[in-house]
């Protein structure tokens, strides 16, 4: 089955700096890669996703890159702000058959003002 | 409803007792997921329902765990003979199904086994 590894487990950056979180997956059948943000005490929410037919996707200060050959994908946050502080989870899922989302172990991002 | 609803929000039980956790997904969503989040840990997949298909139970950690989904809507996760290691937040999520897309999570049920 699918296994998703996520690094780092914790990340502290100064406000205004960039943050990068990396994930690797094992199942070559995975074609959909979402990222979820979980603020303290709240439910996870989707912030961006990417499908295997593209290598990069951007949404304002957030971008995700995908290298299907190497089976890894990354989340990039530029110009970080204190409200970006949260736990971020990557996930992988196939796009046919069973749509079982396997999540990484999470990255706790702290943006220092 | 407006979102995924879970109950109870908090449950404290004694070791060895059975517990039931309920999830009411967004109306019209055909896919429903249960995940477990232990303190400071990731989202551990438990079980996935899609329409009338047989559920994917591959993440259930032991035979003390079971789940059902009645009428393609409400789901109940049952943990029998609870153990202290079952203490966690149990998150339910739903999606439109039929393809990959956004998961909408509930607030979770925090289970504490004494």
Closest CA to A74 of A14, A11, A20, A2: A20
Closest CA to B73 of B103, B109, B32: B32
Please tell me the distance in Å from A15's CA to the nearest CA on chain B. 24
Residue A48 pLDDT class (50, 70, 90 cuts): very high
CA distance linking residue B94 with residue B105, whole number of Å: 7
Tell me the pairing of strands B75-79 and B88-95.
Answer: unpaired
CB B45 within 8 A of CB A113: no
CA of B33 vs chain A CAs: smallest distance (Å): 8
At which residue do the structure tokens 């429903």 appear?
Answer: B32
Maximum alpha-carbon separation in chain B: 40
The three-state (H, E, C) secondary structure of B51-111, written as one string: CCCCCECCCCCCCCEEEEEHHHCCEEEEECCCCHHHCEEEEEEEECCCCCCCCEECCCEEE
Comparison of pLDDT for B51 and B15, the residue scoring more: B15
CA distance A1 to B100: 17
CB nearest B56 (choices: A44, A95, A100):
A100
CB contact under 8 A, B42 and A89: yes
pLDDT at residue A96 above 70?
no
Q: Does B42 have pLDDT greater than 90?
A: no
Dihedral, A47, B100, A101, A52 alpha carbons, nearest 10: -80
pLDDT level of residue B88 (50, 70, 90 thresholds): very high
Judged against a pLDDT cut of 90, whether residue B41 lies above it is answered with: no
Q: Which residue of A has its CA nearest to B53?
A: A98
A95 and B99: CB-CB below 8 Å? yes
Tokens of B74: 């409400």
pLDDT at B39: 78
User: Mean pLDDT over residues A76-97, rounded?
Assistant: 91
Distances (CA, A) of B100 to A95, B35, B96: 6, 17, 8
Residue of B101 and B15 predicted with greater confidence: B15
CA separation for the pair B34, B46 (Å, rounded)? 5
């Amino acid at each position: 089955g699918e296994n998703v590894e996520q690094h780092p487990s914790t990340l502290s950056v100064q406000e205004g700096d960039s943050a990068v979180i990396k994930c690797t997956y094992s199942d070559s059948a995975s074609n959909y890669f979402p990222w979820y943000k979980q603020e303290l005490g709240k439910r996870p929410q989707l912030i961006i996703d990417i499908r295997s037919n593209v290598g990069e996707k951007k949404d304002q200060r957030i971008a995700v890159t995908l290298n299907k050959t190497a089976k890894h994908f990354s989340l990039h946050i530029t110009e970080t702000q204190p409200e970006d502080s949260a736990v971020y989870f990557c996930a992988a899922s196939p796009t046919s058959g069973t749509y079982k989302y396997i999540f990484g172990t999470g990255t706790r991002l702290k943006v220092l003002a | 409803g407006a979102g995924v609803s879970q109950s109870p929000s908090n449950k404290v039980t004694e070791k060895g007792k059975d517990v039931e956790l309920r999830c009411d997904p967004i109306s019209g969503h055909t896919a429903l997921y249960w995940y477990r989040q232990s303190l400071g840990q990731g989202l551990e997949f438990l079980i996935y329902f899609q329409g009338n298909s047989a559920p994917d139970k591959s993440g259930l950690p032991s035979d003390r765990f079971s789940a059902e989904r009645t009428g393609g809507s409400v789901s109940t996760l049952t943990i029998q003979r609870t153990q202290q290691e079952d203490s966690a937040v149990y998150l339910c999520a739903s999606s439109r199904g039929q393809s990959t897309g956004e998961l909408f999570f509930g607030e979770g049920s925090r289970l504490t086994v004494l």
